[in-house]
């Protein structure tokens, strides 16, 4: 008896969102999508009951923008468990250890979906338990222990209460993603990333906070640098004395790399332009329909064929490595071997690596991590360059590898795509109407474009981090937001076209 026969009773009974039996009208899709987004924003503002010390220290740190969720809220884990489970499944599938034929076997499709849900539940436990019980990342409030259990020392029970809440949040975001995938527009993971990154971008433009902490938005900062202290009724913006005016000695440097963040603004706009342009670069393979005489089409093989979503997998792998390092530091403290990592408190309750293996494997977050000639970074130039080299290698090579895995596991590879084209009644003019012939034509383009596109996206993500972005959004988060928004726009246009011409839905399946 194989593992499929043993696990089938469990995997087939995993709760699932029912698929629509027929076509879902576009307005209803928008309604489901909007409803889930409202629920997502609501849950990111529901803070954990029993949490002491504010929101706790964010163990995800710079990865928060791409893992979505909210620190100290019921969605503390965000999409992290879903992404980690996808990494495990892609690695197992790439090594052909599962033995599942998800393209042609309905039973294997059900088993794969059940296995994915089971792995997500396991990852929720493996991620959530260390957050609550190790290192004090989500500290329990003794006052809650006193009020609930009559003893301030019963914080262990409060920790289990905290874990139960983030476990429920992890399950909710899993099924919210499934609702959007089956009943809405786009994917839930993509929409949650857009929601979180958009909040940061808007805050990076217009938020009014202490400029001395370099947290104010660009517009208030520029106003303060130009005209000095500003007040609008109850709101007062004080000029940072270290920034001064644009005419001072450090004014230009502050405008470009400091509070003014002009370089970050230029980088953000450039990333938008490059991704939109890359999405439009494609090789178009002509197709003709054998069912409708004269009907023709084209199959586009885009430069970013695998989309930017594989970058989530690469960054999630880095996030899990940094997560492991912080857990080890929290448990071992000074006993942690220096070659593994030397940690320093960042001032916000979060310890960051400043030397050792975990330092070199940490991605570049902003210009302050590498501009030793401007910001006075404590590390030696050779250490900084080594860290940049590791980050570039990890993202470029990892981007290409995970792009290949993504294409194969999402039925976008040459074999699966050729079968889809054949089943829709399309063929390539001048070639025999045969699946293997279509597959050979696609093999000339899809594998090469997939690797090039994945490597390009990895390079763009690192460069965006090095130059900085508005609101401190990570380069990967910005790339994901632009690409996912563009794809949602294309999907909405396609849905509207199908609504206007129902015959096209039948023609193209």
The count of C-alpha atoms lying within 13 angstroms of the C-alpha of 157, restricted to the half-sphere facing its C-beta, is 13
- Are the C-beta atoms of 72 and 51 separated by less than 8 Å? yes
What is residue 242's predicted lDDT score, i.e. its pLDDT? Answer: 45
Question: What's the pLDDT band for 36 if we cut at 50, 70, 90?
Answer: very high
Domain boundaries, the chain: 1-10+25-184, 211-261, 262-509
Inform me whether the pLDDT recorded for 507 exceeds 50. Answer: no
Q: Which residue has the higher pLDDT, 243 or 272?
A: 272
Three-state SS sequence of 364-402? CCCHHHCCHHHHCCCCCHHHHHHHHHHHHHHHHHHHHHH
* CA–CA distances in Å: residue 140 to residues 55, 134, 186: 11, 12, 38
d(CA 436, CA 427) in angstroms, rounded, equals 11
Q: Is it true that 1-10+25-184 and 262-509 share their CATH fold?
A: yes
What is residue 327's predicted lDDT score, i.e. its pLDDT? Answer: 85
Question: What's the pLDDT band for 163 if we cut at 50, 70, 90?
Answer: very high
Q: Which helix (H) or strand (E) holds 427?
A: strand 426-427
CATH class given for the domain over 262-509: mainly alpha
Distance of CA 53 to the CA centre of its chain: 28
Inform me whether the pLDDT recorded for 90 exceeds 90. Answer: no
Inform me whether the pLDDT recorded for 169 exceeds 90. Answer: yes
What is residue 508's predicted lDDT score, i.e. its pLDDT? Answer: 45
Inform me whether the pLDDT recorded for 243 exceeds 70. Answer: no
Q: Does domain 1-10+25-184 bear CATH number 1.10.3370.10? A: yes
Question: What's the pLDDT band for 500 if we cut at 50, 70, 90?
Answer: low
């Amino acid at each position: 008896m194989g593992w499929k026969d043993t696990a089938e009773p469990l995997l087939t009974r995993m709760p699932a969102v029912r698929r629509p039996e027929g076509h879902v009208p576009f307005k209803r899709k928008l309604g489901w999508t909007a409803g889930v987004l409202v629920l997502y924003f609501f849950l990111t503002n529901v803070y954990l009951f029993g949490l002491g010390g504010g929101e706790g220290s964010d163990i995800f740190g710079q990865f928060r923008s791409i893992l979505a969720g909210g620190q100290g809220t019921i969605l503390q884990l965000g999409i992290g468990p879903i992404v980690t489970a996808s990494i495990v499944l892609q690695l197992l599938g790439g090594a052909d250890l599962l033995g599942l034929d998800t393209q042609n076997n309905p039973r294997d499709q059900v088993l794969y979906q059940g296995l994915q849900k089971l792995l997500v539940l396991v990852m929720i436990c493996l991620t959530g338990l260390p957050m609550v019980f190790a290192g004090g990342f989500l500290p329990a409030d003794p006052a809650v222990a006193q009020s609930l259990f009559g003893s301030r020392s019963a914080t262990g029970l409060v920790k289990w209460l905290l874990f139960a809440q983030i476990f429920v949040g992890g399950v909710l975001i899993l099924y919210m993603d499934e609702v959007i995938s089956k009943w809405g527009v786009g994917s839930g993971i993509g929409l949650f990333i857009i929601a979180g990154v958009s909040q940061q971008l808007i805050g990076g433009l217009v938020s009014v906070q202490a400029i001395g902490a370099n947290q104010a938005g660009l517009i208030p900062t520029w106003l303060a640098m130009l005209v000095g202290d500003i007040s609008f009724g109850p709101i007062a913006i004080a000029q940072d004395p270290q920034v001064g005016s644009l005419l001072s000695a450090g004014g230009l440097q502050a405008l470009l790399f400091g509070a003014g963040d002009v370089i970050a603004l230029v980088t953000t706009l450039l990333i938008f332009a490059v991704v939109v342009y890359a999405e439009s670069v494609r090789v178009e393979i002509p197709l003709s329909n054998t069912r409708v005489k004269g009907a023709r089409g084209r199959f586009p093989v885009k430069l970013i064929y695998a989309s930017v979503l594989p970058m989530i997998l690469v960054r999630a792998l880095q996030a899990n490595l940094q997560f492991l390092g912080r857990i080890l530091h929290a448990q071992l403290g000074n006993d942690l071997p220096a070659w593994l990592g030397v940690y320093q408190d960042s001032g916000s309750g979060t310890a960051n690596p400043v030397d050792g293996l975990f330092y070199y494997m940490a991605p570049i977050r902003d210009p302050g991590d590498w501009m030793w000639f401007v910001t006075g970074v404590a590390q030696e130039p050779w250490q900084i360059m080594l860290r940049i080299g590791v980050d570039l290698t990890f993202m470029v090579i990892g981007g290409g590898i995970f792009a290949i895995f993504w294409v194969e596991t999402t039925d976008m590879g040459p074999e699966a795509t050729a079968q889809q084209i054949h089943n829709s009644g399309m063929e390539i003019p001048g070639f025999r109407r045969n699946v293997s012939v279509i597959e050979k034509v696609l093999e000339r383009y899809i594998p090469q474009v997939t690797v090039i596109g994945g490597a390009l996206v990895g390079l763009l993500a690192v460069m965006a981090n090095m130059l900085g972005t508005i609101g401190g959004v990570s380069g990967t988060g910005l790339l994901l937001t632009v690409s996912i928004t563009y794809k949602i726009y294309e999907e909405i246009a396609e849905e509207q076209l199908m609504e206007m011409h129902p015959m096209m839905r039948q023609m193209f399946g």
